Homo-oligomer: A and B are copies of this chain.
Amino acid sequence: MLKIPDHQVAGHEAGAGKLGPLVDDSGRFYKPLQSGKRGAEEAAFYESFSSNTKVPEHIRKYFPTYYGTKVMKASTGVEHPHIVLQDLASTRVNPSIMDIKIGSRTWGPEASDAYIAKCLERDRESTSVTLGFRLSGLQVFINDESGFYKPNRDFIHKIGPDDVRVNLRKFVSSNPSEKLDTVPDCSLSSSVYGGTNGILAQLLELKAWFEDQTIYHFNACSVLFMFEKGLVLNGASSNAEVKLIDFAHVTEGKGVIDHNFLGGLCSLIKFISDILEMTGHTATNGQLEV
């Protein structure tokens, strides 16, 4: 019943002798607890978050549902503790997915000097420092024949600011697999990024919460964009969704907003607004005028 997820775009992957997430056919996602305190802290975050009455209901929908932890046979064949979550892709057929790690810094102030040095190097090499976020994974559905545009991880880890912009355009284009020197047509941008239920509207709802919430600091956390190209082409809603994932480095907010996450989120919002503006929508100060 357990299998390797079809639509993973970032993070550890399960394989022969390799520890990675599994899914079942009831819509649950089993994420192996990471080693050291990282795994324990991610589980602790889910425990805290799922019972925290200060988190508004309209914000909970941006987080995977948490079903506790479970010791079970892992992808390696041996028993291992897992965090049991909602499988975000379970109800989707051919999801286009983008994983974006938010923040110009991916370390928390309490991390060790060695860990900070390691993160800082990757933050400077990637677009984290310049853009306030970096692309961690991507798959864009083309059609049944060609499948997905899914650049490999080495390519993604090396891309610069201009490539990030191009890939945010490719994500909502009918020609995503074209060469980088072709301008992506962004023909799906209004259905996916725009509109009252689109990705920009969801990011703005998250932004309003981040301007105020001082409970958690989401260090090294990602936002996931998902939609169904098939639905858009059939004239239906794109079913665009924004989710937050990866909470192994969340720390207490201690009465201070998560200015690092918020800054990166605002930068991403500006990129998305630019694409909508370019394709004929008007956006002012990050506020979509519909």
Interface residues of A (CB under 8 A from B): 104-105, 109, 120, 124, 129-132, 161, 208, 211-212, 214, 254-257, 259-260, 262-264, 266-267, 269-270, 274, 284-286
Contacts and interface: CB of A to CB of B under 8 A. Distances in A.
Counting every copy of the chain, the complex holds 2
A254 B161 contact: yes
A255 B278 CA distance: 14
7 contacts: A132-B263, A208-B285, A211-B266, A256-B270, A257-B266, A259-B267, A263-B266
A267 B264 CA distance: 14
Given A109-B130, A257-B270, 5 more contacts: A132-B259, A208-B285, A259-B263, A260-B263, A263-B263
A266 to B, nearest CB: 6
Most B C-beta atoms less than 10 A away, residue of A105, A262, A263, A285: A263
Q: Which 6 A-B pairs have the closest CB atoms?
A: A263-B263, A132-B259, A259-B263, A259-B267, A211-B286, A109-B129
A260 B265 CA distance: 11
Contacts of A270: 211-212, 214, 256-257
